[in-house]
Structure formats: C-alpha cells, structure tokens
Structure 1
Amino acid sequence: MEQRTHYFLAVRIPEETKRIMKAHIEKIKEVHRFSRWVHYQDLHITLAFLGPANPEKLAAAEINVEDVLSDTKALKLKINKLGIFGQEDSPRVLWADTEESTELKAIRKKVFSASERAGFQLETRPFRPHITVARKWTGAHPFQMEQLEIWNKLQPEPLPFQASEVVLYQTHLNKTPKYEAITLFPLQT
C-alpha cells in the first residue's frame, strides 16, 4: 500500500530551543515510557494540518498564507509545562505546552482561513497550541499525572523563544527526522 505524503503549516521552533528541548526529552525518557519519541528536529506547533494535497491546492495555500502573513510580526512564546492527550492512565500523546498567546491565536486564525480559502477541509477542534514530544504510553504501570512535574525540575522558569517563521512542512514517514520544510513564511522581526 502506497503511503501518501501529508502537508501541514506550523510555527518553527528555533534551533537553540530545539537543542534545549532535546536535552530535556532525554531526561523525560528516563521517567516516561512512550513507544515513539519525536525527533528534536521535528518539534513544531501545528497551525493547520492539510493532509494529502494536489499541487494546485498547495500552491493556492502558499500564496494565501504568504499574503495573510506579509505584515505579521514575530512573537515571543514560552514553553511552560508538559501535558497529555488521551486517557489519564494511558495517554496517546505527551506534549509541551506554551503559555497563552493572543498573537499565536491570531496567526493560527490567519493561516487556518488562508488554507480553507485554498480549498482544504481542516479539523474543527478548538486550537490547542502544543509541541508533541512523544506518542503512545507503553509503561508497565498506569501513567501518573505527577510524572508531568519533571518539566519543572528540568526547566524551573518557562523556556522563552522567538517564533519568527511559519513553515509549510511535508511529511516523510520513512525518514528521521520526518518533516521537511517546503516553504518558509518569515514573520517581521
């Protein structure tokens, strides 16, 4: 069965922040048992998951996103804690959270609308900005929510970074890292 490539638009995490996260993830792996850990180069904040796309729709999305972000300023974000999606005793996703940001929500809204205007049918779940760290709990014992506190030991203060690019990524499921930057949309600094 052929695997189709997928595309998504995301805030790029700067290299320095990715290296700090990589060190933290190595420590988190000692406490948490998940089957798949995200390669540190693949860390990002998804704004719009496009899925498989024909070249015309993808080109239209790129034009629309470039247009809506042309006067958008870079923003400061802070990674402040860990969280999970799924059942509390057996989560399907472990993620790092960012502090509330109205600027990030505004950028997401612009990118989301631009993608819809290009003809993409997007998820309608509320936007929950996060950086996926790992997937599928495999621990011998039920997951304990207290284990999320490891972040506060590794990073006593929120981890700040400047988000200065939105990126169109292409997924390569058979590679590591698996996300390839196709188009960069710089934000004004």
Structure 2
Amino acid sequence: MENKPHYFFALKLPQETKISMGKNFTELKELFPFKRWVHEEDLHITLAFLGSAPENLLITAKKLVVAAIRDVPPFPVEINKLGVFGIEEMPRVFWAGIQENKELHSLRNRVYQACSEAGFQLESRPFSPHITLARSWAGAEPFMKREAMENWGKLQPVPLRFNANEVVLYQTHLDRCPKYEAIEAFPLK
C-alpha cells in the first residue's frame, strides 16, 4: 500500500515559542508517560487538515487561502491552559489550549472556507484551537490533569503569548522527526 503524504494549513508558532515550550518537554516526559511526544519543531495550531491531496487541489487551495487572508492583520495569541481529548484518565491527546480569540476563529474560518471552495472534504467538528503536545497515554496509573497543569505552571510561565503572523501549508512525513515540512508560508497583512 502506498503511503501518500498528507497536508494541512496551520498557524505557525514563532521559533522562540517552540523553544520555550520544548524546554519543558524533558521534565514533562518523565512526569507524564505518553507514547509519543510532539517534536518542538512540529508545534502548531491546525486550521484545516486536508489529508492526501492532488496537486491541482493544493494549487487551488493555496490561491484561495492567499486571497482569504490578504487583509488579516497579525494578532496576539495566548497559550493559557492544558487539556486532553479522549478519556481523561487515559487520554489519546494531551494539548496546550488557546485563550478564546475571535481573530483566530475568524482566520480559521477563512482558511477552512477557502479549502472547502477548493474542493476538500474537511472535518466538520467545531474548531477547538490547541497545540498537540503528546499522544496515547502509556502510564500505569490514570492521567491526572490537575497534576499536569500544576507541573506545567512550575516549568512554563502560563500564559505564554506570541503574535500570530503566518499561515503555513505543511506536508506530513511519518518516517521523519520532526515530521512536518513547511511547503509554503503565507504572511498575514
């Protein structure tokens, strides 16, 4: 079976934000045994997951995204919480959450709509902006969200703020680490 690359549009995190978050991963990995931790270079906020994509649809999506975000100015983003997807005691995803942000939701809606217009079938779940940190709980004891938040707060000054100024089209390489390659960047206004 052929392993086709997958693509997604995401809000790029500044390098200093990735480094700041990555510094804490070593200690968090010891405290919280997830099977897979995200490489700090792969940290991002997904706006639209495209899956495998024919070249013609990617070209169309890129043109429509450029037009859709042309007048969007950079805006502040605040990382201020931790959470999980799945069963809280055995989560499948451990993430850092974003303070409610109208500009981020508006940007996501523009990118999502552009990709839909290009012909992509996108997820219909409500947008829950987050940065995936780890996947698949592997601990012998249940995961403790409160303990995770307390330890994150000791290691990482919460909240962590940055200016969003670039949307990136990424390609996934499952056989690499880091596994996300920036194909093209689209700066905000």
* Alignment partners' CA distance in 2, 1:151 and 1:80: 10
Provide the residue aligned with 2:82 in structure 1: 82
Can you list the C-alpha shifts for 1:12-70, whole angstroms capped at 9, x where unaligned? 00000000010122221121010000000000000000000000001000000000111
Partner SS for 1:136: strand
Quote the sequence identity (%).
53
Gaps of 5+ in 2: none
Provide the residue aligned with 1:179 in structure 2: 180
Provide the residue aligned with 1:98 in structure 2: 98
Partner SS for 1:47: strand
Aligned-partner residue type, residue 115 of structure 1? C
Provide the residue aligned with 2:155 in structure 1: 154
Q: CA RMSD in A?
A: 0.9
Provide the residue aligned with 2:165 in structure 1: 164
Q: Which structure 1 residue ranges, 4+ long, deviate > 4 Å from structure 2?
A: none
| CA displacement at 1:147 relative to structure 2 | 2.1
Number of equivalent positions: 188
* Alignment partners' CA distance in 2, 1:53 and 1:142: 38
Inter-CA distance 157–38: structure 2 relative to 1 (3 Å threshold) = closer
* Alignment partners' CA distance in 1, 2:158 and 2:95: 17
Can you list the C-alpha shifts for 1:137-161, whole angstroms capped at 9, x where unaligned? 0001111222222222223431011
Contact 2:166 2:188 in 1 (8 A): yes
Bigger drift between 103-112 and 68-77 goes to: 68-77
Contact 1:81 1:151 in 2 (8 A): no
**Structure-2-length-normalised TM-score:** 0.97
| CA displacement at 1:88 relative to structure 2 | 1.0
Gaps of 5+ in 1: none
**Structure-1-length-normalised TM-score:** 0.97
* Alignment partners' CA distance in 1, 2:157 and 2:185: 32
Matching of residue 28 in structure 1 with residue 28 in structure 2: yes
Provide the residue aligned with 1:120 in structure 2: 120
